[in-house]
Amino acid sequence: MKVLRCLLADDEPIARQILENYIEDIPNLELIASCKNAFEVMEVLEKETIDVMFLDINMPKLSGISLLKSIKDRPEVIITTAYPEYAIEGFELSVTDYLLKPFSLERFLQAVTKVRKKTMVTQPSISPVAPKEQSLFVKSDKKTIKLNLEEITHVEAYGNYIKIFTDEMILTPLTLSEFLEKLSDDFIRIHKSYVVNFYYLKLIDGNQFVLRNNVKLPIGKSYRKLVSEKIGS
């Protein structure tokens, strides 16, 4: 497994120490730099190759959000903050995860796992076979189709069938609940008729979930709390 080179940025010494301990506890993570502000981060990024950056938002002089907007070729980013109100803006900037302080080692590990999944998608694998949890098979007409989970944007209930959307639409005889059981934690039910891949979230506009391809899906009243918890988790 690839060693992820990490950078963390937080103006609070205690917060930095917690992150340093978490990184030390998890195998195949290497701490390259621990920064107190955005300017130190920029200096490190000029000199070092970084795979993942753990970034606080509320920092002196230049905020974490402003820093993200200023970096062109940035590593994967996990925001670590006490402020849930910046979650949507963070996801609009394509951060991998958003951790609300205080967060546990288990929650930290979940965020790191998301980085690894994205890295697996973009980097060639030594094995020609994709990891089992990253793909599944569905039946459509008389065909059996292999689907890569990261390519699924959303799923729609359609009577006794579901419509699975990637760069095309696949109709298969399953219920939405049955299919959701086969999916990873990146997927969330936002409506009785819709499951979405949270990775493709562009923004939330009122009670609409807007994907990066500008598809707009309604958020059901009974699912709003679940969506809010996912954003702030």
Nearest-angstrom CA–CA distance, 56 and 38: 9
Pairing of strands 52-55, 4-9: parallel
pLDDT tens readout for residues 142-191? 889 888 888 999 999 998 899 999 989 999 999 998 898 888 888 999 99
Predicted local confidence at residue 90, as pLDDT: 78
Nearest-angstrom CA–CA distance, 229 and 34: 29
Element (H, E) at 119: helix 105-122
Choose among 161, 162, 155: nearest CA to 211.
Answer: 155
Domain 4-122: CATH class, spelled out: alpha beta
Tokens representing 35?
Answer: 């920064």
Domain at 132-232: CATH code: 2.40.50.1020
Percent of the chain residues past pLDDT 70, beyond the cut: 93
Nearest-angstrom CA–CA distance, 76 and 165: 25
Domain spans, the chain? 4-122, 132-232
Nearest-angstrom CA–CA distance, 162 and 172: 6
pLDDT tens readout for residues 46-103? 999 999 999 999 898 898 989 988 888 889 999 999 988 878 777 788 888 999 999 9
Residues whose CB falls within 8 Å of the CB of residue 46, separated by 6 or more in sequence, listed in order: none
Global pTM? 0.54
